[in-house]
């Protein structure tokens, strides 16, 4: 009995140790892997690695606080380089002042950006500069830009994709038309997903004709067929560029800045909704209905943000927009000054219907609801707060300070 117990405990201990070993998160080992890229080293680095990631930065600042921020960025790159060490991905830093000639030769333009060189292409990373986001992004870049759908199981997985823009084409094989499709996909990798099939049954299920390409907007049930057959690389690239701003798009860590910069005349219609929360899920389903009904409206684009995806930004958003993000919210945000107006959803019982939401969106697009409407209200609120703070000093002090708001 005792021997049996000892054996059981021994097995448990081994399993426990194995589990701990299998969940060991990487820590920076102190070895420098990020290169200092200059005129002497950049060509060798480009030849050596399958991917080369270059961070284009201002000269190292004298300010200690800014130095720490720079060191944190460098540490993110070092940890990413360590994790991906066996993937033949190189990392380097280019000083905008000291290495200005190299930056010009490489086509580096925006200081503070990360550029990825793959073959003869340059991909700008426009997302959150964290190790986990960057690792996932680079692994996607390493993959083939076109994924082939060969059978019913792969087709089912394709049809379950909802949040991404995706294209799929039907081709006889790896002929000239497929090559044009493949070359077009390289222009958008990894931000837009490209699929292809050579299988008749898969093509029949998707109602695809030979050399035809379907374009799926996020959250839409039916695709749009690209006009013309067969399609050239230019045809595909032009179509995607014209349609890549979706009616409903999700903010993602890997392209969050690109999405935020792609505003509609200086504003975004923004919806905060936690997909795992019942109310958040309900609002998201309402938004999908609205998007599907208005997919042909080029002036409408709603940015959906799941606060669970951005835990470090949640309190910032709550403070900036004066919101409670434990509840779903939808509003219009001015991207210049972060001024915002939010739809009143204080009723705890019901969220707005799709029709009510469409009416509100129509008011936003027409300008009847805009971020300037509440400026006078904000000024009055500030005045009231200020007056409350000055109560203890007496009415005479309050009268003296009235000119602050005149």
Min mean pLDDT across 54-63, 232-241, 288-297, 391-400 is at 391-400
Structure confidence at residue 356 as a pLDDT band (50, 70, 90): very high
- Residue 30 within a domain: no
Whether residue 264 sits in one domain with residue 339: yes
Whether residue 294 sits in one domain with residue 256: yes
Average pLDDT (290-302) is: 94
Q: Which residue has the higher pLDDT, 13 or 338?
A: 338
What domain range is 396 assigned to? 375-404
pLDDT for 1 beyond 80: no
Whether residue 285 sits in one domain with residue 265: yes
pLDDT for 379 beyond 50: no
Peptide bond into 21 cis (omega under 30): no
Q: Which residue has the higher pLDDT, 265 or 185?
A: 185
Average pLDDT (56-82) is: 93
| pLDDT value of position 10 | 46
- Residue 61 within a domain: yes
Min mean pLDDT across 76-85, 177-186, 333-342, 369-378 is at 369-378
SS3 content of the chain, % helix, strand, coil (to 5): 45, 15, 40
- Residue 68 within a domain: yes
- Residue 317 within a domain: yes
Whether residue 172 sits in one domain with residue 136: no
Last residue of a domain, one of 108, 142, 176: 142
- Give Cβ neighbours of residue 113 (< 8 Å, ≥ 6 apart): 55, 56, 124, 125, 126
Whether residue 133 sits in one domain with residue 212: no
Domain at 155, CATH number: 3.40.30.10
CA distance 304 to 313: 14
| pLDDT value of position 106 | 95
- Residue 151 within a domain: yes
CA distance 278 to 158: 26
Give the count of domains, the chain: 4
H helices, E strands: number in the chain: 15, 15
DSSP 134-194: HHHHHHHHHS-SEEE--SHHHHHHHHH--SS-EEEEE-SSSSHHHHHHHHHHHTTTTTSEE
Q: What's the mean per-residue pLDDT of the chain?
A: 88
| pLDDT value of position 23 | 76
| pLDDT value of position 346 | 76
Structure tokens at 301: 């684009």
| pLDDT value of position 90 | 97
Calculate the CA 288 to chain-centre distance: 19
Last residue of a domain, one of 243, 271, 302: 243
Last residue of a domain, one of 126, 142, 158: 142
Using N-to-C axis directions, what is the helix angle for 354-366 and 278-293, rounded to 10°?
Answer: 60
Whether residue 232 sits in one domain with residue 161: yes
Whether residue 297 sits in one domain with residue 197: no
Identify the burial level of 266 via C-beta atoms within 10 angstroms of its C-beta, where 0-12 means exposed, 13-18 middle and 19 or more buried: exposed
- Residue 322 within a domain: yes
CA distance 325 to 330: 10
- Residue 358 within a domain: yes
Nearest to 362 by CA among 303, 299, 305: 299
What percentage of the chain has pLDDT greater than the value 70?
86
Whether residue 197 sits in one domain with residue 103: no
- Residue 397 within a domain: yes
Phi then psi for residue 84, to 5 deg, are: -100, 20
pLDDT for 404 beyond 90: no
Of 152-161, 363-372, 376-385, the range with the highest mean pLDDT is 152-161
Structure confidence at residue 12 as a pLDDT band (50, 70, 90): very low
Whether residue 266 sits in one domain with residue 361: yes
Whether residue 391 sits in one domain with residue 283: no
Whether residue 44 sits in one domain with residue 128: yes
| pLDDT value of position 374 | 58
Structure tokens at 36: 């200092």
pLDDT for 9 beyond 50: no
Whether residue 128 sits in one domain with residue 80: yes
CA distance 406 to 164: 50
Q: How does pLDDT run across 101-149, given as a tens digit for each residue?
A: 999 999 999 999 999 999 989 999 999 999 999 999 999 999 999 999 9
What percentage of the chain has pLDDT greater than the value 90?
78
| pLDDT value of position 348 | 63
Structure confidence at residue 265 as a pLDDT band (50, 70, 90): confident
252 sits in the region (left: phi over 0; alpha: psi -120 to 50; else beta) called beta
pLDDT for 371 beyond 80: yes
């Amino acid at each position: 009995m005792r021997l049996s117990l000892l054996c059981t405990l021994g097995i448990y201990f081994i399993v426990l140790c194995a589990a701990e070993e299998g969940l060991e998160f990487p820590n920076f080992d102190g070895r420098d892997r990020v290169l200092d890229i200059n005129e002497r080293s950049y060509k060798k680095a480009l030849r050596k690695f399958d991917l080369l990631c270059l961070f284009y930065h201002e000269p190292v600042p004298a300010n200690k606080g800014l130095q720490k921020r720079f060191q944190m960025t460098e540490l993110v790159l070092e940890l990413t380089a360590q994790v991906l060490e066996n993937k033949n991905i190189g990392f380097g830093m280019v000083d905008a002042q000291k290495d200005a000639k190299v930056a010009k030769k490489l086509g580096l333009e925006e200081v503070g950006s990360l550029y990825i060189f793959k073959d003869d292409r340059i991909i700008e990373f426009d997302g959150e500069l964290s190790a986990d986001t960057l690792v996932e992004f680079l692994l996607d870049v390493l993959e083939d830009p076109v994924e082939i759908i060969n059978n019913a199981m792969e087709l089912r997985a394709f049809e379950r994709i909802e949040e991404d823009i995706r294209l799929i084409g039907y081709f006889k094989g790896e002929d000239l038309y497929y090559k044009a499709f493949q070359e077009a996909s390289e222009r958008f990798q990894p931000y837009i997903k490209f699929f292809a099939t050579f299988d008749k049954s898969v093509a029949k299920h998707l109602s695809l004709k030979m050399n035809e390409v379907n374009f799926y907007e996020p959250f839409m049930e039916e695709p749009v067929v690209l006009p013309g057959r067969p399609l050239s690389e230019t045809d595909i690239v032009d179509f995607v560029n014209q349609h890549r701003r979706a009616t409903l798009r999700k903010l993602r860590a890997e392209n969050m800045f690109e999405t935020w910069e792609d505003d509609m005349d200086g504003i975004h219609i923004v919806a905060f909704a936690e997909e795992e929360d019942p109310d958040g899920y309900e609002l998201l389903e309402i938004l999908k209905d609205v998007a599907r009904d208005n997919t042909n409206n080029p002036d409408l684009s709603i940015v959906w943000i799941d606060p669970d995806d951005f835990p470090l930004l949640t309190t910032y958003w709550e403070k900036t927009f004066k919101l409670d993000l434990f509840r779903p919210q939808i509003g219009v945000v001015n991207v210049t000054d972060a001024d915002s107006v939010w739809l009143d959803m204080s009723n705890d019982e019901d969220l707005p219907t799709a029709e009510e939401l469409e009416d509100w969106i129509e008011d936003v697009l027409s300008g009847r609801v805009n971020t300037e409407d509440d400026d006078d209200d904000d000024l009055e609120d500030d005045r009231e707060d200020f007056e409350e703070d000055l109560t203890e000093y007496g009415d005479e002090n309050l009268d003296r300070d009235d000119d602050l708001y005149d």
